[in-house]
C-alpha cells in the first residue's frame, strides 16, 4: 500500500470500517511510514477534541414544529393561487432544458409551416385594377371619347 | 368611240360643275384622313366651353352621362360630371402635364399622363398613321349638327371583327361634335355629342384650381406613363415573360408597362382604334361574378363578355394571364392559345 491510498483509508480505519485484509495492509504501512503515522495521530487527537465539545439540545417543541412545516410544504403544490411557484422545484434543470427545447422545435415547425402556407397559398383579387388599366389605355387612343363609364361593382 | 352631242354636253357640264364646286368650296378637296388629323389637333388648340353628353348602350340598362366641358388652349381641359347623380362632382382636369381624375364622394384621386403631353402627342401622330393603315377613313358628305355644318367621317375596319367609328367634325373649328362607336360585332355602344355654349371661362378656371388645391391631401394614385421595351421588362420581372405569337391583323405593340412594383406586366396593343391589353403576373385567383368557361387548345379560361370589351382569364405554369379587348371571342381565344 502506498501513502496516497493509506491516507484515504485512515478515516475508515478509525471508524473500524475496514476489512481484515485492508486493516492488516494499513497497519504494516503505518509501521514503516512515519508520515502516515503522524497524520493518524493528528486525526485521533482531533477526534478526541471533538468528543469533548458539549452538545446543544434543541428546544422541546422544535421537532414538532419542523414536522408540521414539512407536512405543510408537501400539501402546498396542490392548493392555492401560487401553485406554479411551488411547481418550479418539481422540475429539475434537466427537465426544464428538455421543455425549452421542445417548445423551440414546435415554434420552428409551426413558424415554417405558416410561412410555407403563406407563400404557397394563392391570393385572391378582382378584375377592377385590370379594368381601370384597360380603360386608361383606351383613353390614350385619340379618337376615344373623354367621357367614360367608371368601373362599378357590376363590372367586376 | 363615238360620242353623241348630248353626251358631250352632259360631260362638259359635269366637269364644269365639279371644278366650280372644288373652287368655291376649298374644303371639298380635303382628304378625310386630313380632316381627322386636323380634328385631333384642334381638340387641343381651341378655347371652348359646352356640355358633353354620352349615351352608353353597354349594360342592361342604357346609361347617359352629362358633363360640363371647358378647354382653354393646349394645356387646360376640364370635365365636371353633372349627371347621373351617382357620378355628380367627378372631375377630370388636364393641365398639359398630368390628367387628374377626382371622385369626391370616394375621396379618390388618380393621376394619369396628360393627353397632350409630349409622348401622347407623338402617339397621336403614330396612331393616325396606324388608323389609316388598318381602317378605311371615308367622308359621307356634310350634315348640320346643332345648326353647324360638319363633315361626316366614317372609320371602318379593313378586316371585320374590329370596332368602327362615325364622327361629325365641325367644318369651322374641326372640333368633333358627335361620335358613334360600334363594337366588334357592329352594335352601337357609345354615342356622344358636344353642345357648345359660352360662359365666363376665366372665372371658372380660377375656381377649378382652387378646388384642385383642396384635394391635394386626398388618397392619390399615380399611374406611370413610362413605357419599357420587352427586353427591359424581361430583366425586371422575376418570371419568364410571355408574349402572344398571334395578333389580329393590324395590331402592334404600343407599350409595355410594369404594375404592382413589377409583379404584373401589361402589354398594350392597338390598331389605331381598337385596344388589346394583355396582363400577366404570378398566379392569383381572380374573382369574377359572371363568366362562361372557354376552352382553347388544351387550356380552359373564364370569359367575361360585355358589349364594349371581352375579358379572358386563365392560369398556366404558376402564372395568371388576363386578356382584354373589343374583339371577337374567337380572336380572343386564338391570341390566348398563341401565348408561349
Chain A: residue whose CA lies nearest to B287: A126
In a domain, B277, yes or no: yes
In a domain, A67, yes or no: no
Q: By residue range, what is the domain housing residue A114?
A: 83-143
* pLDDT at residue A9 tops 70: yes
Which one of A118, A129, A146, A154 makes the best mutation probe of the B interface by having the most chain B beta carbons within 10 Å? Answer: A146
Same domain, B41 and B141: yes
The answer to whether residues B278 and B269 touch, using CB atoms and an 8 Å cutoff, is yes
DSSP state of A156: -
* pLDDT at residue B208 tops 80: no
CATH number for the domain spanning B282: value is 3.30.200.100
In a domain, A39, yes or no: yes
Nearest alpha-carbon partner for B144 in B165, B166, B171: B171
Confidence label for A153 from pLDDT (cuts 50, 70 and 90): very low
The number of folded domains in chain A is 2
Same domain, B214 and B250: no
Q: What is the pLDDT of residue B319?
A: 93
Mean pLDDT of A102-121: 86
Residue with cell 382628304: B31
Chain A: residue whose CA lies nearest to B324: A134
Chain A: residue whose CA lies nearest to B192: A145
B20 versus A126: which is more confidently predicted?
A126
Same domain, B55 and B107: yes
* pLDDT at residue B195 tops 80: yes
Tell me whether residue B8 is exposed, middle or buried, using C-beta atoms within 10 angstroms of its C-beta: 0 to 12, 13 to 18, 19 or more. Answer: exposed
Confidence label for B250 from pLDDT (cuts 50, 70 and 90): very high
CA angle B109, A126, A121 (to 5 degrees): 125
Confidence label for B118 from pLDDT (cuts 50, 70 and 90): confident
Same domain, B236 and B154: no
In a domain, B319, yes or no: yes
* Residue B218 in grid coordinates: 386626398
DSSP state of A59: P
User: Rounded to an integer, what distance in angstroms lies between the CA atom of residue A126 and that of residue B286?
Assistant: 5
Strand partners, A93: none
In a domain, B5, yes or no: no
Last residue of a domain, one of B222, B238, B254: B222
Confidence label for B166 from pLDDT (cuts 50, 70 and 90): very high
Mean pLDDT of B287-296: 89
Q: How far is A117 from chain B (nearest CA, A)?
A: 15
In a domain, A30, yes or no: yes
* pLDDT at residue A100 tops 70: yes
Mean pLDDT of B172-191: 90
B21 Cβ under 8 Å from any chain A Cβ: no
Same domain, B259 and B206: no
> CB-CB: which of B192, B275, B289 is closest to A137?
B275
Q: What is the pLDDT of residue B282?
A: 92
Residue with cell 366641358: B69
In a domain, A90, yes or no: yes
> CB-CB: which of B67, B270, B285 is closest to A141?
B270
Residue with cell 353642345: B195
Inter-chain CB proximity A145 and B181 less than 8 Å: yes
Percentage of chain B with pLDDT > 90? 34
Same domain, B214 and B290: no
Q: What is the pLDDT of residue B274?
A: 92
The number of folded domains in chain B is 2
Q: What is the pLDDT of residue B281?
A: 94
Same domain, B203 and B102: yes
Same domain, B94 and B208: yes
Q: What is the pLDDT of residue B94?
A: 86
Least confident of A70-74, B64-68, B94-98: A70-74
Percentage of chain B with pLDDT > 70? 83
Inter-chain CB proximity B63 and A122 less than 8 Å: no
In a domain, B7, yes or no: no
Q: How far is A115 from chain B (nearest CA, A)?
A: 18
Confidence label for B218 from pLDDT (cuts 50, 70 and 90): very low
Q: What is the pLDDT of residue A155?
A: 44
Contact pairs from chain A to chain B, CB under 8 Å: 103
Strand partners, B111: B100, B222
* Residues in B touching A154 (Cβ below 8 Å): 59
Average pLDDT, chain B: 83
Chain A: residue whose CA lies nearest to B56: A149
Mean pLDDT of B46-65: 82
Inter-chain CB proximity B192 and A141 less than 8 Å: no
Same domain, B184 and B320: no
Q: What is the pLDDT of residue B164?
A: 93
Q: What is the pLDDT of residue B225?
A: 58
Q: How far is CA A94 from the centre of its chain?
A: 5
> CB-CB: which of A129, A142, A154 is closest to B127?
A142
Q: What sign has the CA pseudo-torsion B59, B63, B68, B73?
A: positive
* pLDDT at residue A144 tops 80: no
* pLDDT at residue B2 tops 50: yes
Same domain, B57 and B184: yes
Last residue of a domain, one of B180, B195, B222: B222
Which one of A124, A141, A152 makes the best mutation probe of the B interface by having the most chain B beta carbons within 10 Å? Answer: A141
In a domain, A76, yes or no: no
Confidence label for B165 from pLDDT (cuts 50, 70 and 90): very high
B195 Cβ under 8 Å from any chain A Cβ: no
Confidence label for B158 from pLDDT (cuts 50, 70 and 90): very high
Which one of B92, B275, B289 makes the best mutation probe of the A interface by having the most chain A beta carbons within 10 Å? Answer: B275
B142 versus B2: which is more confidently predicted?
B142
Same domain, B252 and B169: no
Same domain, A41 and A88: no
* pLDDT at residue B309 tops 60: yes
In a domain, B20, yes or no: no
Average pLDDT, chain A: 79
The answer to whether residues B196 and B176 touch, using CB atoms and an 8 Å cutoff, is no
Same domain, B166 and B287: no
In a domain, A75, yes or no: no
In a domain, A117, yes or no: yes
Tens of pLDDT along B3-34? 566 677 667 766 655 544 444 444 556 888 88
Same domain, A89 and A129: yes
Q: What is the pLDDT of residue B203?
A: 61
Tens of pLDDT along A80-90? 454 555 555 55
Confidence label for B251 from pLDDT (cuts 50, 70 and 90): very high
CATH number for the domain spanning B51: value is 2.50.20.10
> CB-CB: which of A132, A134, A150 is closest to B309?
A134
Q: Is the peptide bond before B84 cis (omega within 30 degrees of 0)?
A: yes
> CB-CB: which of B59, B192, B272 is closest to A147?
B192
Which one of A132, A134, A152 makes the best mutation probe of the B interface by having the most chain B beta carbons within 10 Å? Answer: A134
Predicted structure pTM score: 0.67
Same domain, A87 and A137: yes
- ipTM score for this prediction: 0.82
Same domain, A87 and A139: yes
* Residue B127 in grid coordinates: 396612331
* Residues in B touching A129 (Cβ below 8 Å): 259
In a domain, B131, yes or no: yes
Inter-chain CB proximity A146 and B79 less than 8 Å: yes
In a domain, A119, yes or no: yes
Residues 83-102 of chain B whose Cβ lies under 8 A from any Cβ of chain A: 87, 90, 92
CA angle B10, B13, B17 (to 5 degrees): 140
Q: How far is B317 from chain A (nearest CA, A)?
A: 13
| Maximum mean pLDDT: which of A148-152, B218-222, B259-263, B318-322 | B318-322
In a domain, B6, yes or no: no
* Residues in B touching A132 (Cβ below 8 Å): 110
B11 versus A5: which is more confidently predicted?
A5
In a domain, B213, yes or no: yes
Least confident of B23-27, B107-111, B156-160, B268-272: B23-27
Mean pLDDT of A109-129: 83
Same domain, A87 and A134: yes
B229 versus B209: which is more confidently predicted?
B229
> CB-CB: which of A137, A147, A154 is closest to B67?
A147
Last residue of a domain, one of B222, B257, B290: B222
* Residues in B touching A131 (Cβ below 8 Å): 324
Inter-chain CB proximity B286 and A134 less than 8 Å: no
B12 versus B73: which is more confidently predicted?
B73
Q: By residue range, what is the domain housing residue B201?
A: 28-222
Amino acid at each position: 500500500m502506498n501513502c496516497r491510498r493509506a491516507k484515504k483509508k485512515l478515516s475508515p480505519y478509525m471508524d473500524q470500517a475496514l476489512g481484515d485484509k485492508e486493516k492488516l495492509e494499513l497497519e504494516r504501512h503505518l509501521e514503516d511510514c512515519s508520515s502516515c503515522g503522524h497524520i493518524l495521530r493528528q486525526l485521533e487527537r482531533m477526534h478526541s477534541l471533538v468528543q469533548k465539545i458539549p452538545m446543544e439540545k434543541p428546544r422541546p417543541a422544535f421537532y414538532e414544529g419542523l414536522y408540521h412545516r414539512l407536512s405543510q410544504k408537501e400539501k402546498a403544490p396542490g392548493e392555492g393561487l401560487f401553485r406554479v411557484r411551488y411547481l418550479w422545484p418539481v422540475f429539475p434543470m434537466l427537465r426544464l432544458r428538455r421543455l425549452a427545447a421542445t417548445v423551440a422545435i414546435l415554434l420552428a415547425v409551426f413558424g415554417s409551416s405558416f410561412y410555407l402556407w403563406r407563400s404557397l397559398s394563392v391570393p385572391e383579387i378582382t378584375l377592377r385594377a385590370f379594368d381601370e388599366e384597360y380603360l386608361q389605355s383606351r383613353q390614350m387612343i385619340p379618337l376615344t371619347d373623354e367621357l367614360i363609364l367608371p368601373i362599378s361593382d357590376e363590372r367586376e | 368611240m363615238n360620242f353623241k352631242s348630248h353626251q358631250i354636253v352632259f360631260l362638259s357640264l359635269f366637269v364644269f360643275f365639279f371644278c366650280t364646286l372644288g373652287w368655291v368650296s376649298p374644303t371639298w378637296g380635303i382628304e378625310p384622313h386630313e380632316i381627322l388629323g386636323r380634328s385631333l389637333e384642334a381638340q387641343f388648340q381651341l378655347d371652348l366651353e359646352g356640355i358633353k353628353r354620352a349615351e352608353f348602350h353597354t349594360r342592361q340598362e342604357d346609361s347617359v352621362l352629362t358633363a360640363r366641358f371647358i378647354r382653354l388652349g393646349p394645356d387646360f381641359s376640364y370635365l365636371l360630371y353633372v349627371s347621373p347623380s351617382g357620378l355628380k362632382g367627378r372631375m377630370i382636369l388636364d393641365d398639359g402635364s398630368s390628367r387628374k381624375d377626382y371622385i369626391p364622394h370616394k375621396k379618390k384621386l388618380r393621376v394619369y399622363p396628360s393627353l397632350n403631353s409630349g409622348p401622347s402627342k407623338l402617339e397621336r401622330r403614330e396612331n393616325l398613321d396606324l388608323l389609316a393603315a388598318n381602317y378605311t377613313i371615308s367622308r359621307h358628305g356634310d350634315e348640320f349638327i346643332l345648326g353647324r355644318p360638319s363633315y361626316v367621317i366614317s372609320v371602318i375596319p379593313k378586316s371585320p371583327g374590329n370596332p368602327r367609328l362615325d364622327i361629325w367634325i365641325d367644318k369651322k373649328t374641326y372640333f368633333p361634335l358627335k361620335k358613334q362607336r360600334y363594337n366588334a360585332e357592329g352594335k352601337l355602344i357609345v354615342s356622344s355629342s358636344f353642345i357648345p355654349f359660352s360662359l365666363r371661362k376665366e372665372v371658372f378656371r380660377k375656381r377649378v384650381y382652387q378646388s384642385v388645391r383642396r384635394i391635394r391631401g386626398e388618397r392619390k394614385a399615380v399611374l406611370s406613363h413610362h413605357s419599357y421595351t420587352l427586353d427591359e421588362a424581361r430583366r425586371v420581372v422575376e418570371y419568364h415573360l410571355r408574349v402572344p405569337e398571334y395578333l389580329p391583323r393590324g395590331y402592334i405593340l404600343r407599350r409595355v408597362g410594369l404594375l404592382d412594383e413589377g409583379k404584373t406586366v401589361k402589354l398594350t396593343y392597338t390598331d389605331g382604334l381598337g385596344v388589346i391589353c394583355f396582363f400577366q403576373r404570378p398566379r392569383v385567383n381572380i374573382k369574377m361574378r359572371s363568366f362562361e368557361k372557354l376552352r382553347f387548345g388544351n387550356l380552359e379560361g373564364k370569359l367575361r363578355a360585355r358589349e364594349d370589351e371581352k375579358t379572358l382569364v386563365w392560369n398556366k405554369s404558376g402564372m395568371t394571364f388576363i386578356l382584354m379587348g373589343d374583339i371577337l371571342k374567337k380572336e380572343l381565344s386564338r391570341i390566348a392559345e398563341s401565348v408561349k
